[in-house]
Structure 1
């Protein structure tokens, strides 16, 4: 697994909990998913899905 680049981490919004990040992702109207940063330990949002399991939409 590749590490998050420190320059990316510093530019992104940090969330203290995964739930906080999920709420912000839902409010954005974009397809975003939270992840725990291996640099700062906080949660960030990403639109990248390559190599990640994407949950099925709830019907």
Structure 2
């Protein structure tokens, strides 16, 4: 589903994913960042319906 232009214009825009993550981390509620298909920047949302949560990356060390 595309972001409506009126919604895009109302939301705060972040130039980088790192900026959006930092803003989401500092919020009082759980927020997720996403890249907007209208402006190409990042916005925050509290919606989780239909959103996939990325699997955590497993870092393996050298085999002993």
Q: TM-score, normalised by structure 1?
A: 0.85
* CA-atom RMSD in angstroms: 1.4
Residue by residue, what CA displacement relative to the aligned partner does 1:10-51 show, whole Å, maximum 9, x if unpaired?
000000011100100111121000000000000000001011
Larger proportion of helix:
1
- Aligned counterpart, 1:31: 30
- Bigger radius of gyration: 2
Moved over 3 A (4+): none
Q: Show structure 1 runs of 5+ residues with no match.
A: none
Q: How many residues align?
A: 55
Q: TM-score, normalised by structure 2?
A: 0.79
